[in-house]
Amino acid sequence: MIKLTPLTARIPIIIAALTVVTACTEAPAPVDPAYRAEIEQWRAGRLERLTAEDGWLTLTGLHWLEPGENRFGSAADSRVVLPDPAVPAIAGLLVVGPDNTVTAHAEPESGVQVNGEDLTTTELHSDANNAPDIVVAGRVSFYIIDRGGRLGARVKDPQNEARRSFAGIENFPIDEEYRVTARFEPYEAPREVAIPTVLGQDTTMLATGLLHFTVDGREQTLEPYVGSPEDEHLFLIFRDGTSGEATYGAGRFLTADAPGESGTTVLDFNRAYNPPCAFTPYATCPLPPPQNMLEAPIEAGEMYSGEAH
């Protein structure tokens, strides 16, 4: 759960001071100490990544670019606003070409860098291949995102209020009953599946089959997604009976190992986590497709009672 508290934290955030709160619900069965330690270590790593200097809590804006020139700088009327008074009002230009390339031009003596080098003029790679060029001006940075040909600049500031006032994540109690074995039923051939997003437009993901499992005595099915059929991990987006009440309304994420020779894998819902959209309005999260709406309540993993984005 996001808890908005008065601005008292200092940067850098001391991870040890962030509290992961355990929800007050009926106590589950005793948990194996080794398994409890494993989940607590996973939660600590999750919290550390979320609160890092380049984590999701640092996002201050997502600015969609127009064809042609787009100014960036600290001026409020910039197309890409960089919220650091040390940055020039006009620090440079992002030029979107007819072929959807983005070329960055920096003003002289602006101090703008890209990937650690002084920026003069360069074409920026987007996050389409998961390796975007990082532009830095003062303490602020941004990079180009590509969402189905729609280009935007995602801005991060380590001194963002959301990061400085963040109080932790609330979790259900660890419950080994929600660590289940799932049987994988492969499709005849991998298929591209339309997945809705918070942008109101679909994206596509690759599905290779279905996972069948039992939770709380009910048979359930989820469709996992992969980057390629050879991926060693599965990505799941799901809603369940707790969504919009104890957990984030738009659903949660889960990862699992790809099925082994046995044709099974383990789904550990104690590792179910909130999407970035639970923490910032500047993320572009995928949403659960109709086939991943579970009837059973999954009272495990991360909870949420903050403001919806």
What are residue 65's phi and psi, to 5 degrees?
-90, 150
Distance CA 213, CA 180 (A): 7
State how far Cα 64 lies from the chain centre. Answer: 19
In this prediction, residue 20 carries a pLDDT of: 43
- Reading phi first (left if > 0) and then psi (alpha if -120 to 50, else beta), residue 97 is in beta
Among the candidates 120, 135, 157, a domain finishes at 157
Q: Could you tell me which residues come within 8 angstroms of residue 165 by beta carbon, excluding any fewer than 6 positions away?
A: 4, 5, 6, 7, 9
Do residue 153 and residue 176 come from a single domain? Answer: no
Do residue 133 and residue 175 come from a single domain? Answer: no
Do residue 256 and residue 190 come from a single domain? Answer: yes
In terms of C-beta distances under 8 Å and separation of at least 24 residues, what long-range contacts does 70-74 make, across chains too?
70/94, 70/95, 70/96, 70/153, 72/135, 72/137, 72/142, 72/153, 73/137
Do residue 147 and residue 247 come from a single domain? Answer: no
Which H or E element spans position 269? none
Domain ranges, residue 205: 15-53+167-292
What is residue 34's three-state secondary structure? helix
Residue 34 inside a domain? The answer is yes
Helices marked H in the chain — which ranges? Answer: 33-50, 161-164
Do residue 90 and residue 131 come from a single domain? Answer: yes
Condensed to tens digits (0 to 9), the pLDDT of residues 44-69 reads 999 999 999 999 999 999 999 999 99
Do residue 121 and residue 260 come from a single domain? Answer: no
Residue 179 inside a domain? The answer is yes
Q: How many domains does the chain have?
A: 2
In this prediction, residue 305 carries a pLDDT of: 79
Do residue 225 and residue 244 come from a single domain? Answer: yes
Helix/strand/coil (H/E/C) assignment for every residue in 118-136 = ECCEEEECCHHHCCCCCEE
In this prediction, residue 309 carries a pLDDT of: 52
Token pair, residue 247, equals 């957990």
Among the candidates 101, 132, 157, a domain finishes at 157
Do residue 247 and residue 109 come from a single domain? Answer: no
Q: What is the CATH number of the domain that holds 77?
A: 2.60.200.20
Do residue 136 and residue 107 come from a single domain? Answer: yes
Residue 5 inside a domain? The answer is no
Low-confidence ranges of the chain (pLDDT < 70): 1-28, 307-309
Do residue 68 and residue 199 come from a single domain? Answer: no
In this prediction, residue 11 carries a pLDDT of: 38
Residue 208 inside a domain? The answer is yes
Residue 302 inside a domain? The answer is no
What are residue 58's phi and psi, to 5 degrees?
-90, -5
96 exposed, middle or buried (CB, 10 Å; 0-12, 13-18, 19+)? Answer: middle
Residue 297 inside a domain? The answer is no
Do residue 25 and residue 77 come from a single domain? Answer: no
Please confirm whether the linkage preceding 12 is cis (ω < 30° from 0).
yes
Do residue 105 and residue 88 come from a single domain? Answer: yes
Residue 235 inside a domain? The answer is yes
Of 218, 210, 275, nearest to 50 by C-alpha is 275
Condensed to tens digits (0 to 9), the pLDDT of residues 126-175 reads 999 889 999 999 999 999 999 999 999 999 999 999 999 999 999 999 99
Residue 4 inside a domain? The answer is no
Among the candidates 125, 157, 189, a domain finishes at 157
